[in-house]
Amino acid sequence: MIQCKDCEFCEIGPDNKRTFKCNPFTNIKEPECIAKWQLIRLDMLLATYQGMVKWYGKLAPLQDKMLKYMQREINELDEADSWKIDDEEQEQQEEQEEEEEI
């Protein structure tokens, strides 16, 4: 089995970072290369997912603040309109009492 460092599709940069030019659909040299390629892709997916989770962790406090602010605004609107609802409820009760008397 050929090692990736010896393969023509692997380039090692000055910071020892490996860049793979292989494509599993066109230029894989050995069957083991596909397994290695899958591991590399899984590692990339995992790193992306971890970055996303970290980003969501940073956004969570901001999201909580926004939800609290929105809830407070909604409550203030409900309180401001409560006089309308109270009057309507009183009118409905008076109408029901009148209907009951008849």
Distance (Å, whole) CA 4 – CA 32: 10
Domain ranges of the chain: 4-101
Alpha helices, DSSP H only, in 1-102? 31-80, 82-101
The two structure tokens encoding residue 77:
């609107």
> How do residues 22-50 score in pLDDT, each as one tens digit?
887 888 888 888 888 888 889 999 999 99
Q: pLDDT, tens digit, for every residue of 1-26? A: 778 878 888 888 889 888 888 887 88
Any idea which of 3-12, 51-60, 82-91 has the lowest mean pLDDT? 82-91
Q: Model-level pTM greater than 0.85?
A: no
Distance CA 102, CA 88 (A): 21
